Structure 1
Amino acid sequence: MQIGIGLPNQVRNVTASTIPRWAARAEEAGFSTLATTGRYAYPGVSDTVALAAAAGATSTIGLLSAVLLAPAWPGALLAKEIAGIDGVSGGRLTLGVGVGSREDEFTVPGHGLPGRGARLESDLATYREVWGGEPVGNGPNPAVPAGTRQVPLLFGGYSARTLHRMVRWGEGYLGGSLPTAMTAPSFEAARRAWREAGRQGAPKLVVLAYFALGDTEAGRANVQDFYRLAPEEIATNAVLCTTGEMIEQSVAEYTDLGVDEIIFVPATDDLDEVTRLADLVP
């Protein structure tokens, strides 16, 4: 199983200049992926900005949005942003998307919380068209340079529609930072949906887990603050690893479940957390 690390872009009041330094250190430490957390109505750094900063600060490590609230964006605009980040990175980006559930995240007129699922269905086709170089805006020009690739997609969420989108458009499923007993059924459902749709091979399975190895109390407070308005089932069960033993247990449990990659998401923006985590994982 691969082991990635999150960027601290949605740690409350993150020092934004830490993000490119964090990215460079994570690449040096040998992590498989750098991942962002998507929120708008929170005092952090946008996932697209954080991913662009990480793309410019690194050259080999994978990049992932985990997850970006895609229906909060106009589809063609997001497609151009993502293509640009992927291009800057040299083709290292995977777009992880979800529909979101908090009304305050949806601030663009015409892109509110109601209808977000239907918008995403339409937007997924728009992404493919934009990345394929089709003209946009009723004019003759495409939005992206020639040679832009189709950025791979992962889907996060707990509904049957999430799995439908995954098997139609995506490469796999992304599970939240919850105990294995809660995430295992979602991973099995993703595998089953993949088989029933006749897709070849198996879906890529990625899971998240928070960690705080330095100031554990600050980390716990930050996670609680981030999920303060989340559904109670999620807010009260978010996994936070605070010891080496907990890190090892998470890796072992998800290895047993056949998950392809675990992303340890930082609960603080202390740059030394990258080294602390790297010292604990293979």
Structure 2
Amino acid sequence: MQLGLGLPISNPRLLTDWALRAESRGFDTLALLDRLVYHNPEPLIALSVLAGATSRIRLQTEVLLGPLRATALLAKQIATLDVMSGGRFTLGIGIGTREDDYAAASTPFATRGRLLETQLTELRQIWHGDSCRGATIGPRPATRTGPPILIGAFAPAALQRVARHGDGLLCAAPLSWADKLVRTVHDEWTAAGRNGRPRIVCQVNVALGEAVGPARAAISAYYGRGDWGVPISDPNELVDTVAAYRAFGADELVLYCYADDPSQVDDLAGVLGLT
């Protein structure tokens, strides 16, 4: 099982330090969340900067709110990031649940699922080189079919979307109810006649040592309540949690860090025995 780091969002100027430490300590992925009505950095721009600062580690959105963006321009932005990073980008995409993001973008909230369905089809067509409304949009991505697509999903319609359009599932649910989501995705994958198996990427919030207090405050501010997303802060619990996700069959576990001190990277790597 691979291990990724979910980057903090409060101080974008520190993210290059996070990226360099994560790559040197053996983490596999840098992930960044997406909101519009919040003070987080725009993920595609931020990950582009980090792509230029690194050479090995993968770059992933979790999840990009696709319907907030014009599809043709989004396809071009993603293809540019993918090709200039040497094919290191993975598109994690979804619809989100915050109505204020959609209001600020003048995008209908109620039809966001249908908008994403259309968008995913058109993204693949554009990356394949097909005409989009009479025009061909480049550059071509690093691979012919475009970067891997992971879809964040909880609802049945969204889980079906993984089999129709995605390469895997971004599962933000705790292990206590992730199994049902993953089994549904596998069933839909088989019913759709897809070969192979969907990639399963899971997430947990973490913070160690002096980062615990700032992380809890940042998570509370982000969710608007203090009882959601409480980070794992005990080293032994973290080791056990990683082992549990490995036994569960996750392909990757992304450890989300909301406190912005880059020394968390070294602390986490030490606890997990990374180089």
TM-score scaled by length of structure 2:
0.92
Q: What is the identity, as a one-letter code, of the residue corresponding to 1:197?
A: A
- Amino acid paired to 1:278: A
The one-letter amino acid of 1:205's match is I
| Aligned Cα root-mean-square deviation (Å) | 1.7
Quick one: structure 1 residues 102 and 198, their matched pair in 2 at CA, closer, same or farther if it must change by over 3 Å? same
- Written as runs of structure 1 = structure 2, the 5 A alignment for 1:69-88 is 69-88=65-84
Question: How many pairs are equivalent?
Answer: 269
1:1-282 correspondence runs (5 A): 1-8=1-8, 10=9, 14-106=10-102, 107-109=104-106, 111-136=107-132, 138-139=134-135, 142-146=136-140, 148-149=142-143, 150-176=146-172, 178-213=173-208, 214-228=210-224, 236-282=227-273
Partner deviation per Cα, 1:146-194 (whole Å, 9 max, x = no partner)? 4653111011121112122111111111111x43102222122222222
Distance 1:135 1:198 in 2: 27
Higher mean C-alpha deviation, range 204-213 or range 187-196: 187-196
Q: Whole-Å Cα distance in 2 between the matches of residues 43 and 37 of structure 1?
A: 11
Q: Distance in 2 between matches of 1:40 and 1:28?
A: 31
Residues of 1 paired with 2:50 and 2:119: CA distance? 25
Q: How far 1:222 moved relative to its partner?
A: 1.0
Asked if 1 retains the 8 angstrom alpha-carbon contact of 2:211 and 2:264, the reply is no
Q: Distance in 2 between matches of 1:167 and 1:56?
A: 32
Closer/same/farther in 2, CA of residues 237 and 192 from structure 1, 3 Å limit: farther
CA distance in 2, matches of 1:124, 1:147: 15
Contact 1:19 1:53 in 2 (8 A): no
> For 2:272, what is the secondary structure of its paired residue?
coil
Aligned AA (1:262): L
Q: What is the distance in 2 between the residues matched to 1:104 and 1:64?
A: 24
Give the aligned partner of residue 232 of structure 1: none
| 2: CA distance, partners of 1:169 / 1:151 | 12
State the AA in 2 paired with 1:193: E
User: Residue 139 of structure 2: SS of its match in structure 1?
Assistant: coil
Separation (CA, whole Å) in 2 of partners of 1:40 and 1:172: 25
Does the C-alpha gap of structure 1 residues 259 and 125 become closer, same or farther in structure 2, counting only changes over 3 Å?
same
- Structure with a larger share of its residues in helix: 2
Query: Which deviates the most, 188-197 or 45-54?
Result: 188-197
* Letter paired with 1:87: V
Contact 2:6 2:257 in 1 (8 A): yes
CA offset digits 1:194-230 (Å, max 9, x no partner) = 222222222110101111113211111111111117x
Residues 263, 81 of structure 1: alpha-carbon distance in 2 compared, 3 angstrom cutoff: same
**For residues 125 and 174 of structure 2, what CA distance do their matches in structure 1 show?**
38
Gaps of 5+ in 1: 230-234
Structure 2 unmatched runs, 5+ = none
The amino acid across from 2:260 in the alignment is D
Secondary structure of 1:241's counterpart equals coil
Q: 1:113 to 1:147 in 2, by over 3 A?
A: closer
CA contact (8 A) 2:80 2:141 kept: no
CA contact (8 A) 1:19 1:54 kept: yes
Aligned CA distance change for structure 1 residues 155 and 239 (closer, same or farther; 3 Å) = farther
- CA distance, structure 2, for counterparts of residue 147 and residue 166 of structure 1: 21
Distance 1:146 1:36, change over 3 A: closer
Per the TM alignment, residue 15 of structure 1 is displaced from its structure 2 partner at its CA by 2.1
Aligned partners of 1:146, 1:81: CA distance in 2, in Å?
11
Deviations 1:26-78 (A, max 9, x none): 11111011111111111110111221111111111111111111111111111
- The Cα shift of 1:143 comes to 2.4
What is the alpha-carbon distance in structure 1 between the residues aligned to residue 174 and residue 130 of structure 2?
Answer: 43
